[in-house]
Amino acid sequence: MSNYFLEVTRLHNDINALDAILAGGEDETVLVNGQTKDTISKAIKARFEQLQAQVQGRRAYTTKALMTADTGQPVNTLAEVWNDSEDNNGLYGWDGGTWVKSPYDIKAYVNAQQHIATEENASAQAVGLSAAELEYPVTEVAEADFRPMVPSWLPSVGLKGWAPVFRVSVARNISDIKLRLTGTNDMVKLHVRVIRRAVDSPNTGPTANNYSSDSVLVNTSYDLSSYDGVASGEWEEFSLGLQFTAIPGYYYFVEYTCDTAAALNAPIGAQSGWTRAPFESSTDAQLAGFYQKVDGNWIAYKPGNNKCLGLVVLTSGAEANVLADAGRNGVATQKIRSALGLGNRAAISADSLNEAERVNINSWKGADFTGWMTFRAFDKTAYVDALRCTLNNANSTNSPDANLDTRYVRIEIFEDAPGVMTLSNFYQRPRYYKREHPVALSSAGVDIELPLGITFKEGREYAITLTGLDIHRQRSGLGIAGAMHPDILSGDRRLGGYQLDDHSEMTFALPNSNFMPQIETVALKPYVTKEKLDQITSGMALVGVPVYERPRAGLGWQHETNDGRFFDRWAVGYQPLATTKVDELEFLTSGMASLPGFNFRIYRRPDSLDLNSTPGSLEEDEVFFEKDFKNADFAAPDDGWFELSINTDDVGELEAGYLYIFAFDTEAYPGYGIGMGRSTDEYSNDDIWQRGWYGVSNSTTWNPIAGTSSIGFRVMVNRYQMAGQEPIAPTHTEVRVGQSKVSGVTVTLTGLELQRLNLPIKLTSTELVLRQPIKTFAKTETYSLLYDIDQRLFYHPGAYLPYRFIRNVSIVRTSDNQPLVEGVDYSVWYDGGKVQGLQDVPAFDVEITYDGYDSRYDLIEYDPFTGAVSVKEGTSRSYDPEEYIPTPSTDKRPLYLAYVYGNNCELIPLYPWEYGLFEGNEREVLRRSAFNRRALQKTLGKLRKGNPLTFAGYGDSITAQGGGTWQTPNGTTRDTESYYGDYPQDTKDLWPRYDHGDGAGQVHQHMGWNWYLKAQLEEAFGSLVSYDNWGIGGTTSADHTDPDGVRHGGLHPDRLNTMLATSPDLVVIGFGMNEIGQSNTSTNVAEIARQCKAAGADVIIMGCPRISSIGGRASLDSWRTTNDRLWLAAQETGSAFVSTTYLADNERLGGIALSPLSMCNANRFNHPGPYELRKYGQALAELFL
């Protein structure tokens, strides 16, 4: 039989290999059991390239050797080697006698055609343009490629500006431009412009003539007034921080001038450089650059050979992605965001939108606009992850009400054939997408990626709109950064549109300019071609799965009433928990074969309004969708019950925060009716919108469905899954919580999300107001006030009051009615329920008056079907609420446990423990379980054979559960109620009691963790398990003896040897509570374990339970350290270990499911109560189960 742990190791290795195969890159392989396996990505890539070669009419070979051996081919046959060395891979042709490699880089061509992104070099690496990327590069790649030349020009009266020039052969994202400057310590401002000009323009300076192809891409200034800089004659590299896209067919002039404190347009120096090749024609002279003389004229720099003006051009390393403007003749968008930022831009009013004013302005403020739009078209189907833009709310409101600031951005996307949509009609076209996203904007502008996650289809055009919304979802100010679009004629209204604050529709373009709102589509993945999509979805089927279902009963209201009339209208409401794209709605109907047709509408209503108002009756009701159906559309076989599916592809998304009313009517066909299926769900009279409405025989009145009956329906989405597989049900649900906030007894949960196998659902924010526990005001009791020098009140011998939490305490001496002074005569333990005398006098009676506060545990649950959050209230108790925690409802799942005390609340997350393991720690648990089972091999062997087992509990009072001596186990004083001294009697009365045959009678209880272990082992294995309790209260693991001679420590030889003489099969060691923070715990416990193992017993070392956070007996770090020492003892001796920190540390409180305020409540500071002991007992029993 294979070793269990070997199998576990093999499983781990297999899982890791599977992870690598699934997640590895396109060029990676994985070694599995000595065999090399391709990753999924590599296998798909290889197969795709083979298919691609076949589609292109080529033969495909993995290696050149295989191709060379295949000589029986017709002349001009093409072949491609795809999985050999870099030199051998490529395109070949058969000339009749040999395979000849093509000189063309076909792979690069295919990549360009498919828009497969190459890996980008990190911008921080500052990779320059290569020789193949610039016609005549003026760039620094390495020291050998760019050197400053002498002479260089120092600032002089005759030289006022410089303009080095570059061009590119492929589209490139320019990430920065650097200059080498001198005399920057005298400069006040540096002025920079980037001007683009067609290559066929005359050889003149950047501003000598205004050619039609000229475009100013950048016009900005840098404030150097507080910049130290370098002196004249010293040189420094100056980064301009410019970002834009350069495209072939243009020169790019980088013009720079400066101001000093003494003069505007002051002299400025420059350095020269050289290119890799000399200029060979007159048109190349543009690349040498220009300088400006004192008269303002620009003069061509003509030094001869390959000299030029110097600059450094940095790119991102990859060919520029023109995806964002594929519908604009394939020309890339030009970014013109300057280094000065958006905050320095002036607002643009409606009458100032002209090119002259906007040349120097590249953003619009939120004070004047509420929305923006642009058109996009794609030449290939593309999955777009996000929209990227720079938004601002500059001066968006003058109101002191911060709620009017822009809090959300609504994205709406409309779809149609190319060229159909205009700025005046696009919002009337089919809506493809709609969603709102929370945003945090500033007046200076914020770079934002708005999640999208949708596919844009080949051959379609899309109008993309962004609208600012305030907290009330009303339109609010939204500014945006602009972009320059090259080669679009002035006045072309397809640039985009803006929405003014006083208009309800987007009806304006940005006229007389080639500026447009900068809204980029961001595709983190390459284009998805049809071939790839077919390959990915091969063997899969698109199936409908329900995201919401109101179960149908299989019967309902027939289309014709008993008195001969007809039901001619029906409606029912639906509130989505999260925004989702709905593909189909399903209803059970009747009378459909005879029915000529019907009208179907979806009304949308904000859920802040009256949900029970009849459909369409509120001014705010919006006809969200409407369609007329004819008989041929549904083709029912007869008038009996028929499942009607309504395709809702054109509906767009249904958003959270709205009620959607699905409404049918047959008013256009008098004398015909439609029946509707009934749901098994029942709703109260207050929920008309959930029950539904109906109308009879051409009546225009909507009537609420009577009683508790409701209309049944299903909301469906289409999902890919394996062909032939049953549709995934929505009931396998987990929950995620973004944030929880507690204020008093008010709990606010945000970011809730149901993780379902078929569709995650994001829920709206939930606010719960928990009921305050019972308070008893001005309770008066007679109390004996004791003086004691120990300031730790939990050790003070004075009596506890009935309430654990007390407030507003006043005390009067009984003998003379003299009021006592707090802090002088007494001190109060407000969270422990005890009073201590501060005067060194004999005890005396007082009358104590106080307010007593109960506490309570409430269970916060969620419905896995609807996501609805509810509270199951526990029992209010003056002392022990942990023993009255409510059990989870059968149809709900636990989310939080709320400990409510006074006007306070503490949340304990339960959802990370939904499957009994703390989420994210599964590997840790598996490793610990393997370690523990190795340590318990002998015990497990006995149990599996059904043999009897004897085990001993050896520890302190938590093990003893009462008194006891070292000479004998069990006895009259162990496992008794004395351990639970302060628990109320009504709680104690609930506990079962047992007679151990020791003459004490039926006085024993079985609530210690060892009793739980005994019961679980007997139930699981059927063995007879005997338990001997050797615990002694007040002891530690050390070798010590108390003065009474009874309470020996764990290492005391008399005590240890007496226990071992009984030959237990298993020993459960439980020390630590009385020695928290001591350094010798690990040494002592390890020695106890060694002696137990030497005597033939398996050993389990229990972690120390977490102490109460009230009273300050020991720090949390000391408790953690003690448990670390116990774990070390287990590791050193090969003993099994039960970790209490795993269950009860701050990050994992859901394991013990208690607040630290009520831990160890049996004696109010270091004795766990029955509930805790049961939790620790479960962890102990899980070592075997």
List the one residue out of 894, 904, 881, 867 whose CA is nearest residue 747: 904
The confidence score (pLDDT) of residue 527 equals: 45
Over the Cα atoms of the chain, what is R_g? 40
| CA torsion through residues 314, 319, 321, 326, sign | positive
Residue 234 binned pLDDT confidence (cut-offs 50, 70, 90): confident
Q: pLDDT: is 1118 or 324 the higher one?
A: 1118
DSSP bridge partners of 719: 543
* Least confident range of 4-18, 390-404, 736-750, 1142-1156: 4-18
Q: pLDDT: is 729 or 913 the higher one?
A: 913
Dist. CA 1126–CA 683, nearest whole Å: 56
Strands 1098-1102, 1066-1070: pairing is parallel
DSSP bridge partners of 631: none
Average the pLDDT over 250-276 and give the result. 79
Average the pLDDT over 15-39 and give the result. 60
**Residue 36, SS3?**
strand
For residue 290, CA distances in Å to 134, 196, 612, 751 come to: 19, 14, 75, 58
Which two structure tokens, joined as six digits, stand for 404? 């009017």
Q: pLDDT: is 353 or 978 the higher one?
A: 978
Dist. CA 257–CA 287, nearest whole Å: 19
Strands 949-955, 1066-1070: pairing is parallel
Residue partners of 859: CB distance under 8 A and separation at least 6: 871, 872, 874, 885, 886, 887, 888, 894, 896, 897, 898
Q: What is the DSSP string of 770-782?
A: PPPPPEEEEEEEE
Residue with token string 């959300």: 408
User: Would you identify the CATH topology of the domain 938-1181?
Assistant: Rossmann fold (3.40.50)
List the one residue out of 215, 206, 286, 208 whose CA is nearest residue 244: 215
Predicted confidence (pLDDT) per residue in 151-208, tens digit: 466 666 567 888 888 887 766 777 778 888 888 888 888 989 888 887 776 666 776 4
Residue partners of 219: CB distance under 8 A and separation at least 6: 192, 193, 338, 359, 360
Write down the mean pLDDT value for the chain.
76
Which two structure tokens, joined as six digits, stand for 663? 């409404």
The confidence score (pLDDT) of residue 757 equals: 52
Average the pLDDT over 969-992 and give the result. 89
- 151: preceding bond cis by omega (within 30 degrees): yes
Q: Amino acid identity of 1179? A: A
Which two structure tokens, joined as six digits, stand for 285? 């002279």
Maximum CA extent, the chain: 126
Dist. CA 1104–CA 890, nearest whole Å: 33
**HEC secondary structure over 792-811:** CHHHCCCCECCCCEEEEEEE
Residue partners of 744: CB distance under 8 A and separation at least 6: 903, 904, 905
Residue 936 is inside which H or E element, if any? none
List the one residue out of 634, 599, 639, 630 whose CA is nearest residue 616: 599
* Least confident range of 297-301, 344-348, 400-404, 1067-1071: 344-348
**HEC secondary structure over 1086-1124:** HHHHHHHHHCCCEEEEECCCCCCCCCCCCCHHHHHHHHH
Q: pLDDT: is 405 or 401 the higher one?
A: 405
For residue 818, CA distances in Å to 810, 811, 835, 845 come to: 11, 9, 17, 12
Dist. CA 763–CA 735, nearest whole Å: 10
Most confident of the ranges 772-776, 1113-1117, 1132-1136: 1132-1136
Q: Angle at Cα 91 formed by Cα 88 and Cα 92, nearest 5°? A: 90
Dist. CA 766–CA 524, nearest whole Å: 33
Average the pLDDT over 253-266 and give the result. 85
pLDDT for residue 694 is more than 50: yes
Report CA dihedral (45, 51, 54, 58) to the nearest 10 degrees.
10
The confidence score (pLDDT) of residue 644 equals: 93
Dist. CA 267–CA 1083, nearest whole Å: 81
Residue with token string 């009793």: 1011
Dist. CA 760–CA 738, nearest whole Å: 14
Residue 536 binned pLDDT confidence (cut-offs 50, 70, 90): low
Q: pLDDT: is 998 or 173 the higher one?
A: 998
For residue 1053, CA distances in Å to 958, 1038, 1061, 1089 come to: 21, 11, 12, 13
Q: Are 52 and 107 in contact (CB under 8 A)?
A: no
The confidence score (pLDDT) of residue 167 equals: 80
- Return the number of other C-beta atoms located less than 10 Å from residue 149's C-beta: 13
Which two structure tokens, joined as six digits, stand for 858? 């409430």
Residue 917 binned pLDDT confidence (cut-offs 50, 70, 90): confident
Residue with token string 């070669």: 53
List the one residue out of 1086, 1082, 1087, 1119 whose CA is nearest residue 1104: 1119
List the one residue out of 895, 903, 855, 854 whose CA is nearest residue 872: 895
Q: Amino acid identity of 121? A: N
**Residue 940, SS3?**
helix
| Helix 1081-1094 / helix 1053-1060 crossing angle, nearest 10 deg | 30
The confidence score (pLDDT) of residue 751 equals: 74
* Least confident range of 127-131, 739-743, 994-998: 127-131
Which two structure tokens, joined as six digits, stand for 275? 């290119």
Q: Amino acid identity of 236? A: E
Dist. CA 1031–CA 472, nearest whole Å: 64
Residue 516 binned pLDDT confidence (cut-offs 50, 70, 90): low
Residue partners of 611: CB distance under 8 A and separation at least 6: 573, 605, 659, 688, 689
Q: Are 405 and 393 in contact (CB under 8 A)?
A: yes
Residue partners of 1141: CB distance under 8 A and separation at least 6: 1103, 1106, 1120, 1123, 1148
Predicted confidence (pLDDT) per residue in 116-161, tens digit: 222 222 222 222 223 233 232 333 222 222 333 344 666 665 678 8
* Least confident range of 321-325, 382-386, 587-591, 1045-1049: 321-325
In the DSSP assignment, the letter for residue 881 is G
Burial class of residue 1159, CB neighbours in 10 A (0-12, 13-18, 19+): buried
pTM of the model: 0.49
pLDDT for residue 397 is more than 70: no
Predicted confidence (pLDDT) per residue in 780-817, tens digit: 889 988 887 665 555 666 778 888 888 899 999 999 99
Query: Buried b vs exposed e over 428-458: b needs ≥16 C-beta within 10 Å?
Result: ebebbbbbbbebebebebeebebebebebeb
Q: Are 499 and 371 in contact (CB under 8 A)?
A: yes
Q: pLDDT: is 192 or 75 the higher one?
A: 192
CA atoms in the 13 A half-sphere facing the CB of 254:
27
Which two structure tokens, joined as six digits, stand for 1086? 């390890």
Helices (H), 594-733: 631-634, 688-691
The confidence score (pLDDT) of residue 1004 equals: 93
| % of the chain beyond a pLDDT of 90 | 25
Q: What is the DSSP string of 288-346?
A: G-EEE-TTS-EEE----TTEEE--EEEEEEEEPP-GGGTTTTTPPPEE---TT-GGGPP
Predicted confidence (pLDDT) per residue in 959-971, tens digit: 999 888 889 999 9
Q: What is the DSSP string of 1023-1047?
A: --EEEEE---TT--SSS-B-TTS--
Average the pLDDT over 1027-1052 and give the result. 87
